[in-house]
Structure 1
Amino acid sequence: MRTSKRDRILDAAVNVINRDGVRAVTFESVAAEAKLTRGGLLYHFPSREALLRGIDEHLVQAWETSMETLLGKRADEATALERYQTFVRVSAQSATRAELMFMLESADPDAERPWGPAVRRWAPLPPEAGAAEDSAALDNFVARLAADGLWIYEAMYEGQLDEGVRALVAERIAGLLAKSDGSPHL
C-alpha cells in the first residue's frame, strides 16, 4: 500500500522530533525531511498547531495499532488482563522521544489530547482507595507503572538497554500481572 503524503509528512515530523526535539518542528524542517515543498506541507497542515495535533493523533494511532496487532483484537474486545499484558509488552518494545514528549504534553487536564483516552483503553486507571485491597487490581497497576518506567527509560536513554535485558525486564513485569483469581500470571 502506498503511503499518503499526509502520512509521509507525519512520519517525517516524527523523525525530526526523535532526532532534534519538538522545537525543531518547522514547516521547513519537516518539508525537507519529507522531501516535499513547504507549500505541499501547508496543503495538509495550514498551521504549526494543526501539524502538531496531526503528529499527536498519528503517534497515538500507531501505538494503538501496535497494541491491536500484538493482541489480535481491539481493546474493547479484550479482558483487563489481556490489555495489561499487551500494554506491558508494547511498552517494552516501542519507546521514542516523540511518543514521550507528546504523551507528557497530554498530561495537561485542560488540553484535549488523544493519549489519555488511548492509555485508559489499554491500561485502566489505578484502583480506587476502597478497591486497593483487591490484590489482583493492585498488582496489575504496579505492573503498568513498571512498564511505564521501562518505556520512559527507553525514551530518555535511547539505546542504553541491551535488547535481551529489555526482553527479560518486560517478561518480569508481565509476571507481575495477576490472573483474575489473584494469583500471579507467569
Structure 2
Amino acid sequence: MNPQDGLRKKQPARVRRALLDQGARLCSEQGVPGLTLQAVADAAGVTKGGLLHHFPSKQALVEAIFDDLLQRFEHSIDRLMARDVEPHGRFTRAYVTATMELIGMDEFIKWQSLMMTMLTDPGIRQGWKCWMEAQQARYRETDEDGRLVLARYAADGIWLAAVQGHSNLESDRQRGELLAHLIDMTRTP
C-alpha cells in the first residue's frame, strides 16, 4: 500500500491543487494537445483514477486549469484596484498593469498554451468571454470610456504578441514604457 493513499483521502484540496499545478506545468511544456491525463496523474503522484475523481475528462482538467489561472489574474487585478484611489478607469489600469506584470513573470508560460488553445477551444474561449463580460458589466460606470476600452484592447494585443514570443517584450524597460503609455490613456483628460 502506498503511504500517500491515506494522506490523499484526507486532503482532496491538496490533491486537486497538485493536479492543477502539474497540469498547468505540463501544458506549458508540451502544449494542450500533448497533455495526457496519465502524465498529469504521474506528475502529481496520484493514480489516473484519482485524477478522474477530480476531473472527469481532459477537457474538464484543461478548463479547470484555465479557471484557476483566471482566478489568480483576477486576484492581481483586485489587489491593484484596492490601491488605486481614482475611480475613473480603475479597472482598466489594474487590468493593463496585471497583464503587463504577468508577461514578465514565470507564470506567464502557463498562460501561453492555454491562450493559444482559446483560439480553437470553445470551452476555454467561453470561459474568457464570460469573465470579461462580467468585468465589463461590473465596471461599466467607471470603465466604459472609449479610451479605456482601447487601452484594454492594446493590452490584449501586447499579451498576444508576448504569447507568440515577440522578443522585444522580454525587456522590463520596453514593457514599462508600454505600460506607462497605456496608463496615461486611462487618466481623465
TM-score by length of 1: 0.73
Sequence identity percentage: 24
| Deviation string, structure 1 residues 123-158 (Cα, Å, up to 9, x no partner) | 57xx9xxxxxxxx82211211111111111122217
Q: Show the counterpart of 2:80.
A: 70
Q: Show the counterpart of 2:4.
A: none
Q: Distance in 1 between matches of 2:125 and 2:32?
A: 18
- 1:111 deviates by 8.0
| Deviation string, structure 1 residues 58-96 (Cα, Å, up to 9, x no partner) | 2221221121122228xxxx9451001011101112243
Contact 2:32 2:117 in 1 (8 A): no
Higher helix share: 2
Q: Distance in 1 between matches of 2:77 and 2:181?
A: 19
Unaligned runs of 5+ in 1: 128-135
Which of residues 157, 172, 186 in structure 2 aligns to 1:177?
186
Question: Residue 76 of structure 2 aligns to which amino acid in structure 1?
Answer: S
Name the CA shift for 1:168/1:80 in 2 (closer, same or farther; >3 Å).
Answer: same
* Corresponding pairs, count: 163
Q: Show the counterpart of 2:116.
A: 101
Q: Show the counterpart of 1:81.
A: 89
Q: Show the counterpart of 2:14.
A: 4
Extract structure 1 runs of 4+ deviating beyond 6 A.
none
| Correspondence 1:119 to 2:132 | yes
Name the CA shift for 1:165/1:112 in 2 (closer, same or farther; >3 Å).
Answer: closer
Name the CA shift for 1:41/1:103 in 2 (closer, same or farther; >3 Å).
Answer: same
Question: Residue 90 of structure 2 aligns to which amino acid in structure 1?
Answer: E
Q: Distance in 1 between matches of 2:98 and 2:154?
A: 13
| Deviation string, structure 1 residues 138-181 (Cα, Å, up to 9, x no partner) | 211211111111111122217652122112211211111242xx
Deviates more, 1:56-65 or 1:144-153: 56-65
Deviates more, 1:157-166 or 1:168-177: 157-166
Q: Distance in 1 between matches of 2:33 and 2:51?
A: 17
Q: Secondary structure at the match of 1:4?
A: helix
Contact 2:28 2:112 in 1 (8 A): yes
Q: Show the counterpart of 2:26.
A: 16
Q: Secondary structure at the match of 1:72?
A: helix
